[in-house]
Chains A and B, each alone.
Chain A
Amino acid sequence: SQTIHQWPATLVQPVGSPLSLECTVEGTSNPNLYWYRQAAGRGLQLLFYSVGIGQISSEVPQNLSASRPQDRQFILSSKKLLLSDSGFYLCAWSTGGTDIQYFGAGTRLSVL
């Protein structure tokens, strides 16, 4: 069966520090991968999605970036975090033949 792993679960970082969040999927190949952010009390904001290795599409311009170095690995990065980067970051995957997404457990990021 397919599983998605996302870590860390919680992260507290100072303003201006770098960020790296990792997400891996097991049990499937060539998944579509997504990064979302959910601010407190808000909806899901799509940040990046990828349909294949090295293929990244950005939905929202910001100081975040994403990379997909391997088929089932998706990384979210920042060189310098801002206070406004705080939120709940969720990775998700879907197969090419369906629009159903499956989410990782998320990373709760607090930038102080």
Chain B
Amino acid sequence: RKEVEQDPGPFNVPEGATVAFNCTYSNSASQSFFWYRQDCRKEPKLLMSVYSSGNEDGRFTAQLNRASQYISLLIRDSKLSDSATYLCVVPLSGGSYIPTFGRGTSLIVHP
């Protein structure tokens, strides 16, 4: 099993739709998780941190399912500007400074 796995997509959704991505990880000791957004030909930028209690920021909700070892990102009321690749990040273990990036899930929001 790969350390971090994501469905590459693309997820092709209309404006206003709700879309969710999952990211599975293999290291059960991981403590903190992140979602990054990467626009085409740009650097990744932090979107959200994901902690045990989950996290919500406007239209974005991130949750952690520790028992099944996956994190999720839910986007409500999709906008054209949400089109990007979404990367999940899992440190190798608690306190480690070596993160493992998923390969990303591509989202395309169309009019």
Contact = CB atoms under 8 A, between A and B. Distances in A.
Interface of A: 32, 42-44, 46, 49, 51, 59, 88, 90, 94, 96, 98-106, 108
Given A49-B98, A99-B91, A103-B44, 16 more contacts: A32-B97, A43-B101, A44-B44, A46-B99, A49-B97, A90-B43, A94-B97, A96-B97, A98-B32, A99-B32, A99-B96, A100-B34, A101-B46, A101-B99, A103-B43, A106-B42
Interface of B: 32, 34, 41-46, 49, 87, 89, 91, 96-99, 101-104
Nearest to A105: B43
Given A44-B87, A90-B43, A104-B43, A99 B99 contact: yes
A45 to B, nearest CB: 9
Contacts of A102: 46
Contacts of A88: 41
A46 B89 CA distance: 12
Contacts of A103: 43-45
A86 to B, nearest CB: 14
B85 to A, nearest CB: 10
A10 B104 CA distance: 23
Contacts of B98: 46, 49, 59
